[in-house]
Amino acid sequence: MPTLPQDSSRRLSWGILLVRILVGWVFLSEGIQKFLFPVALGTGRFAKIGIPWPQFSAPFVGVVEIICGTLLILGLFTSLASVLLLIDIAVAIVTTKFPMLLTQGLWATLHEARTDFSMFLGLCAILMMGAGVFSLDYRKTPSAGR
Q: pLDDT of 74-105, one tens digit each?
A: 999 999 999 999 999 999 999 999 999 999 99
- Share above pLDDT 70 across residues of the chain, in percent, rounded to a whole number: 93
pLDDT category, 6, cuts 50, 70, 90? confident
Q: For 142, list phi and psi in degrees, rounded to 5.
A: -50, -30
pTM of the model: 0.89
* Domain extent listing, the chain: 10-140
CA dist 31 and 60 (Å) reads: 9
pLDDT category, 3, cuts 50, 70, 90? low
CA dist 131 and 146 (Å) reads: 7
pLDDT in tens, 116-136: 999 999 999 999 999 999 999
